[in-house]
Structure 1
């Protein structure tokens, strides 16, 4: 069914609203595969390859292969419970199922890492959870055979300086969360945007690039400051009076497109406007109107710090070790899924100006917990935020097999906030100490 009006796009976003009893938690995380003997990146083809990994997981665990032409590019669960996909440089991503509790999502992460280790061990492939690729140059990094990347990479070169680093040399962990209504979405989006730099600081874990320190604690976060500012950033308009689904649709309509898919093939529409497509004025498809799949595809090519689809995606964290993959959903569920905690979080940030929020966003990649806003260190704000999140998780009262609530998953973040030392700073201390400035030790000491 062609889309005829903007109202249909607004309704599509609004249709994500659901009662609290139906709210779910969807966690995604990326990691770098590497050859365990040479510490080189894993190519797509060959006996020890990304293709062999995907085929091995499919054959051993019953995943369904997803193909682009003859190439396997992803795996889907035959029961609709999540999928495994590839990022441009071969980063391996689990997009988890919508689950009820953080306990469930942590079990899912554990099961996934068990599977990839089982198959990877047989191939001599390991996996590293960091926010940025610590060793390989862009030239050394393989390119996965997915059509969209052949469109995105050249376009990135036109609109920023770090787009290829983003695509090929970074890894993140995200959590996707629900909202009850437009008003609930607005409050959650505002809290999430304002506090995203605090999450970035707590999860900062990307201090290396090209075999040496890169000058940042979260290089992954720094990359987004100059990838494509027409589709990234802190969305200051989300804090303006009257913001809601329609205002986000207006924003998305004017974010430049990348592509349209027709008959399984990518049509390059980079730089064109979805608004023109809605009017039947897309030069590549003259007279043709979009369908809802085109809109869904377009929304996935918008990269703000928090992304609105039919749910909210928290996008500010570096990937990292197993414990922190479970800590991210715990943090945001604790802040957003209990009204008292959401209110407390809003009280904390509601007076911050757009300029203050942006400066914090700009400072955190380099300074992490040492950055300040209104004279307060992010470390102190992080402690307060974690206390709010812990209260929210305790109020939820979802107990795991050992009787603990979801609040236990915040423990690694409390350690970071109390010590004032991020994972990145700990890695730099090792690099300058026991590792004798040999960054390859990160593969030995921190692989899953």
Structure 2
């Protein structure tokens, strides 16, 4: 989740609708300038007792963050508390219960992306050795209750945690117990954005299936392969889901602005503090009628903050965010950007991928999305067959897209090798969650603590 940047010197008041559309328009870039941004979260645990460390305790989350200074990272504070670290590889920040996230830098190719990921994981492992902690690559805490988890000192989280139970039963689980991998990608025009958004949204269930990695809740199998994905179905219906309007004629920047104006607010940031605006209307804010700031109109930063508070399967800001995957280990962190870059960054591949899904009805898209958390690659697809069958075809398209990019490393290898872990999943027919379940029922003997040996 975004870390507020308070360094901006100019923050104009929003006076016209053009300013609401401007962030999306400003994201347009020529193909030569397209970049890849990868975000990945990991669970932090004490090695001696597998407990989730608090913020303030010795060797806890604050100490972990500050220990990154040895690698050139600089602290970011909120209310006198260090809540993130910034450096050449992006930002290391905190999710609500201390999940550690790298929001990577915008990079030119997947070789750089995977090198960045490797540097980060090497750094946190070294810090972990000093602090007595380990890092777990799963989509959800396998054994912790909400009550067993700490809360990080970020103002927006306090507001969100109060609001979540008002609008869904699983929002607190989303905040406290889950981890994801996310990929941020560019577009060249409004039309290019629309095609990528539609293709990414229709194929997001396949990404969820391939990366499904959250089969345990409070120490037992939960009946799902991606419980993290299921959680989004009862988090907040006003800001989640498959967004039918994206597939309707006329979708573009203006329609996205309308959607975001209908998303209820969470907060307003003023004088270094987050003010609770949960459930209020940004439309009222534009008219100077926000009850907590009467007569005041929003700034561009307020709008940018608001754009970060919707959580659909694909999200638009000044780039597109692919949001469907569970957290996982190093090899799968590299595989997710390879999957989406292969499909969306070559026009031939993008056209081929869209052709596979363009005739699906909205009901069929919704049915697939709802089936995947339990069934993963065994979910039925429109027209007959299973998602596993389609996965082979989609991966072939992604491979063709990566090959066409021709981005080579120093050994002369292109980017297609980053898809190999996904090829193996499809060939085996077992997604990561199913492998974990097999181990739980056999070699682990039902002891969920054994999962911690598979830490990064």
- Please, what TM-score do these two structures have when normalized by structure 2? 0.97
Report the alpha carbon displacement of residue 69 of structure 1 after superposing the two structures with TM.
1.6
Within 5 Å, which residues of 2 pair with 1:300-319? 300-319=308-327
Name the structure 1 match of 2:5. Answer: none
Name the structure 2 match of 1:425. Answer: 434
Q: Matches of 1:308 and 1:436 in 2, distance apart?
A: 44
Q: Matches of 1:149 and 1:310 in 2, distance apart?
A: 23
Match of 1:216, SS state, is coil
1:42 aligns with 2:40: no
Q: Matches of 1:423 and 1:11 in 2, distance apart?
A: 40
Name the structure 2 match of 1:73. Answer: 83
Give every structure 1 segment of 4 or more consecutive aligned residues whose post-TM-superposition deviation is greater than 3 Å.
none
CA RMSD in angstroms comes to 0.7
Q: Matches of 1:402 and 1:38 in 2, distance apart?
A: 43
Q: Matches of 1:275 and 1:384 in 2, distance apart?
A: 44
Report the alpha carbon displacement of residue 2 of structure 1 after superposing the two structures with TM.
0.5
Name the structure 1 match of 2:8. Answer: none
1:196 aligns with 2:207: no
1:386 aligns with 2:395: yes
Report the alpha carbon displacement of residue 341 of structure 1 after superposing the two structures with TM.
0.1
Match of 2:75, SS state, is strand
Match of 1:327, SS state, is helix
Q: Matches of 1:153 and 1:383 in 2, distance apart?
A: 40
Name the structure 2 match of 1:293. Answer: 301
Report the alpha carbon displacement of residue 8 of structure 1 after superposing the two structures with TM.
1.4
Q: Matches of 1:416 and 1:17 in 2, distance apart?
A: 35
Contact kept, 8 Å, 1:29 with 1:93, in 2: the verdict is yes
1:402 aligns with 2:411: yes
Name the structure 1 match of 2:20. Answer: 9
Q: Which one is further off, 60-69 or 332-341?
A: 60-69
Name the structure 2 match of 1:442. Answer: 451
1:324 aligns with 2:360: no
Report the alpha carbon displacement of residue 15 of structure 1 after superposing the two structures with TM.
1.1
Name the structure 1 match of 2:288. Answer: 280
Within 5 Å, which residues of 2 pair with 1:98-109? 98-109=106-117
Q: Deviations over 1:103-129 (max 9, x none)?
A: 101000000000000011111100001
Q: Matches of 2:106 and 2:212 in 1, distance apart?
A: 26
Report the alpha carbon displacement of residue 376 of structure 1 after superposing the two structures with TM.
2.2
Within 5 Å, which residues of 2 pair with 1:41-440? 41-58=52-69, 60-77=70-87, 79=88, 81-374=89-382, 375-440=384-449
Q: Matches of 1:233 and 1:286 in 2, distance apart?
A: 32
Q: Matches of 1:208 and 1:443 in 2, distance apart?
A: 13
Contact kept, 8 Å, 1:91 with 1:171, in 2: the verdict is yes
Q: Deviations over 1:126-166 (max 9, x none)?
A: 00010000011100011001111110011100000000000
Report the alpha carbon displacement of residue 356 of structure 1 after superposing the two structures with TM.
0.4
Q: Matches of 1:160 and 1:63 in 2, distance apart?
A: 37
- Between the two proteins, the alignment pairs up a number of residues equal to 444
Q: Matches of 1:231 and 1:321 in 2, distance apart?
A: 28
Structure 2: segments with no counterpart, 5+ residues: 1-11
Q: Deviations over 1:160-191 (max 9, x none)?
A: 00000000000000000000000000000000
Report the alpha carbon displacement of residue 12 of structure 1 after superposing the two structures with TM.
2.2
Contact kept, 8 Å, 1:5 with 1:278, in 2: the verdict is no
